[in-house]
Structure 1
């Protein structure tokens, strides 16, 4: 079975009942529903914009989840598209939930706009599949390891800023401890274990942490063998959701990121990454190699 076989999609009600439901994903869900209804009704963005008295480009931004939604706009569009009146009535609660502030907004001083979206997407994910080349995947990092990474990656930052970045990373990891949190499938290059980040003690604690996480029922860890050639030379994260939304691929560099959601794009990265689940060491062998690596830092 493919690493990314799609499970059954639970109802939106289940997602909304989860206190961890993400405003980012709710906006995407509402926008996707509006786009499907508009297409089915044969209505153009220009015609839709005339109904809510806005520039036609706003319709696209609403459908892509890029702008906060207004209850009156959503209800007017649902009526225009011929949606069931009960859906229009229920939309008010959904829109209000989608406009909540995410917990991560309190870290605004260290969270660039392009990274803000990733946090919101991961908050509402059902599967997070990530491949890392140089570092331990962020959702698996210990505070000490994350501090060393931030100190090296942001040499001009003062200690308070670095500590804020570490706190943010620790908060992000809480999705893994939720009863219905996402499944994490983390692959990383074998060189990650030999790349000294911080002191030997930092590496010892980091590898110990990964060994413990390897027993988590929703976390799969696999080491990619040395010398394995993959065209993805930068970190790649593919995110899947518990509602009917397309997969999203996240590609990051030092100063910005790209979010890809077109089927042709996401299919490319699925085809690129899926063989890693077969080529990489099995979870059992990976755990064994982590135990071996631990001895190097005693």
Structure 2
């Protein structure tokens, strides 16, 4: 197979998980190549996502690595099936690679949890609110770059409207509800949209109120994307230096606990919706 110049997030993750299986088996890439009837370079290219791998070859590698987790192997095998690239690829030359990866990972997620302290989560933003957020970027973005990012963000939201959408849980601090990005009219429209989205069966929105108990958070946004099995979950952090992607088992567990704690100190969905309405009316 030809070597890929820009593997997708899904291709990279498949390679990463195959490398983890090999390392758990205590096997070198040279040994793995010999068992597969190939060489060390081919194994390295597979693990780096630079070359494709068939479902049957994934199953063979798993057998060679003595992996008995059938659910994980089935999920990894399923990751080899897609050849068509998604809509996000049209933005690859226009936006940072982290934003492209985010859209791809959301598309394949079985469920999504997001936590935000200052902003409304991206999948729930209106067009005007998103544009106002991007206008505050440092360094400043050119007008056409802002529009590319707004368009990309709104297209990401399509996962919430699919025939079988993933369940989306948003944990939002009251501070984010009171920030008037774009002015009062934009902020009010955003809050009304948020309240309307909270009525959807596949969307849960809870609010951490002012005056509540403390909770674990460093202030940056967190997106927790659930895979078909827990080992394929992914955390994306919205930090000042750009998006950070996390898939290490211990760190995934840490962020599951963080989000659980944040949700525990939040208002239930109905009181959260009432608070959103009250803040919107007070603007």
User: Shorter-chain TM-score: which interval?
Assistant: 0.7 to 0.9
Structure 2: distance between partners of 1:40 and 1:157? 44
Q: Mind listing any 5+ residue stretches in structure 1 that lack a counterpart?
A: 1-22, 84-90
Aligned with residue 69 of structure 1, among 33, 51, 60: 51
Structure 2: distance between partners of 1:245 and 1:25? 14
Query: TM-score scaled by structure 2?
Result: 0.79
> 1:209 offset after TM fit, Å?
0.5
Q: Which residue of 2 aligns with 1:276?
A: 262
> 1:82 offset after TM fit, Å?
5.1
CA contact (8 A) 1:41 1:81 kept: no
Q: Helix, strand or coil: the match of 1:222?
A: strand
Q: Which residue of 2 aligns with 1:146?
A: 130
Aligned with residue 278 of structure 2, among 292, 295, 298: 292
User: Following superposition of structure 1 onto structure 2, how do residues 141-220 of structure 1 map, counting pairs within 5 Å?
Assistant: 141-153=125-137, 156-220=140-204
Deviations 1:63-120 (A, max 9, x none): 4xx5143247x7567556658xxxxxxx9996362x4323112112442123322221
Deviations 1:22-44 (A, max 9, x none): x74476457646864x5797743
Q: Structure 1 residues 54, 178: CA separation in 2 closer, same or farther (over 3 Å shift)?
A: same
> 1:253 offset after TM fit, Å?
1.3
Structure 2: distance between partners of 1:278 and 1:76? 43
Q: Which residue of 1 aligns with 2:244?
A: 258
Query: TM-score scaled by structure 1?
Result: 0.76
Q: Tell me whether 1:230 sits opposite 2:215 in the alignment.
A: yes
Q: Structure 1 residues 276, 156: CA separation in 2 closer, same or farther (over 3 Å shift)?
A: closer
- Give the CA RMSD over aligned residues: 3.0
Aligned with residue 232 of structure 2, among 239, 243, 246: 246
CA contact (8 A) 2:95 2:148 kept: no
